[in-house]
Amino acid sequence: MKVETVDVPIDHYIDGKRVAGSAGFEVRTPIDNSVLGTCAAANKDLVDRAVGAAGVAFHPWAQAGAVARGAVLRRFAQRIRANKAALSIVESVDNGGLRHAIAAHIVERSAQNIEYFAARAEHIGGEAVSGSTNTDVVSYEPAGVAALITPWNGPLMLSTWKLGPALAAGNTVVLKPPELAPLSCSLLASLAEEAGVPPGVFNVVHGDGSVTGQALADHPGISRISFTGSPQTGRKVATAAAANLVPVSLELGGKSPFVVFASADLDAAAATAARQYFNAGQVCLAATRILAERSIAGPLLEKICEKVGAMRVGDPRDERTSIGPLISARQFERVTGFVDRARAQGAEVLFGGRQHSAGELYFEPTLIAPVSQESEIVQNEVFGPVLTWQTFDEEAEAIALANDTTYGLAAVIFTGDAAQAERAGRAIVAGTVWVNSFFVRNLAAPFGGFRKSGVGVEGGNHSFDFYCNVKNLSIDYVSFQRGASSTLTRLQ
């Protein structure tokens, strides 16, 4: 498939070869909702073939050792960097992400995801824990074949976030890219091949979740499943994994609070609030519920309106664009439905609330004052450029509102009081809480969600806790002396 100047393979990648599918599915660009072409779709037999290839490749890759694997993976990271222009073109056209942001940040972060875990894997395990009689030696052993299922809102970065630790740990991988944006992941497989990743170590199967994803999650040859997506699909993945007693790592949805206290730097808070519209709001970590202390609510709202008013909605290939399109017509209908129902229930649309003139799948950045905390627009994930606006009088009320959803992925707090930051940060139920900042991701730090936002933690050694079998070898070294003596006695 030709994407502007870039040739992108549209077949599966299995055992180091491109393999055609028995069927195909249409790939569209959200830029203008036109058809880019047809991508191969994998049935159960092709999934079985990919898992089989990964199974055969597992032992040689695992036994190569972390240092040897690291050398290959560093070359893989270098190939990602060397193809920044191509990856930026493909991902932007494929999922509507801002091309300038992909080129400036996403590609580099994707390379870092591979490099970081390659280096980290060389230093895990081997520690000895001494007891009263035995010495316990901890080792991290690769689990087997890992199934990686990634979402359409960040296919390149989120695939490498999973690939890095899975491959560095010594596992082999079958990656299922998102059917709405499969192309950058397909290109990634070609770069892995160029880097010398052995056949069967990294496989890619395309297709939708109901067929390809289900066959992968059900497969008895899979040892780990890492999934990023909706809670609804996450439940299906967990159910399939449970049948084979396969550990899962699930990063699911979010409905994160953005709490602004009276002592905050309002300019910084407003600028960060506007950033929640990044990627047309299609970011699970976005803090979409603005909670403002009543005494500063008016000035803060004015500043937010000013910041958002300066943002340009339009073609994501244009470096002047701040907000691009939604991924599909279905997603556009979902976002429109949320806004229309909120309006019908009496919510006040403070700005936005309708289709943008930029095109079919473009929606205006929107801010809604809901009727109540129980409103659908407050409680459920929209996954579009739609935020809600609420006020509070006291810190305890802010925390209660922040925690009053079924999610717990992330939160943002703006305050000028360090003690308040620590109190509120500890009290808010979320896997990551940013204070006076947003989207700062240290690869060594834990990342995961609470409640409906996910199961499991990754990042740093937490990733290896998941992608490895953590083993304890407990040895009574004194027994060797006793054993030698007793053996001698028996021989006499």
Query: Which residues form the catalytic set?
Result: 162, 251, 284, 458
Give the burial string for 402-424 (b: 16+ CB within 10 Å, else e). Answer: bbebebbbbbbbbbeeeebbebb
Residue 121 to residue 140: CA distance in whole angstroms: 9
Residue 31 to residue 312: CA distance in whole angstroms: 15
Residue 367 to residue 302: CA distance in whole angstroms: 12
Strands of the 386-392 sheet, one edge to the other = 348-351, 366-369, 386-392, 289-293, 257-260, 410-414, 432-435
Contact 290, 389 (CB under 8 A): yes
Nearest one of 372, 373, 369, 364 to 389, comparing CA atoms: 369
12-14 vs 17-19, strand pairing mode: antiparallel
Residue 257 to residue 472: CA distance in whole angstroms: 41
Contact 488, 466 (CB under 8 A): no
What are phi and psi for residue 93, nearest 5 degrees?
-70, -35
Residue 446 to residue 94: CA distance in whole angstroms: 30
Residue 211 to residue 45: CA distance in whole angstroms: 11
What is the DSSP track for 309-356? Answer: HTPPBS-TTSTT-SB---S-HHHHHHHHHHHHHHHHTT-EEEE--SB-
Residue 249 to residue 321: CA distance in whole angstroms: 34
CA angle, residues 86, 120, 475, in degrees to nearest 5 = 150
Own/partner long-range contacts of 26-31 (Cβ < 8 Å, ≥24 apart): 27/1, 27/94, 27/182, 27/183, 28/328, 29/93, 29/94, 29/96, 30/95, 30/96, 30/324, 30/325, 30/326, 30/327, 30/328, 30/361, 31/93, 31/96, 31/315, 31/316, 31/317, 31/324, 31/325, 31/359
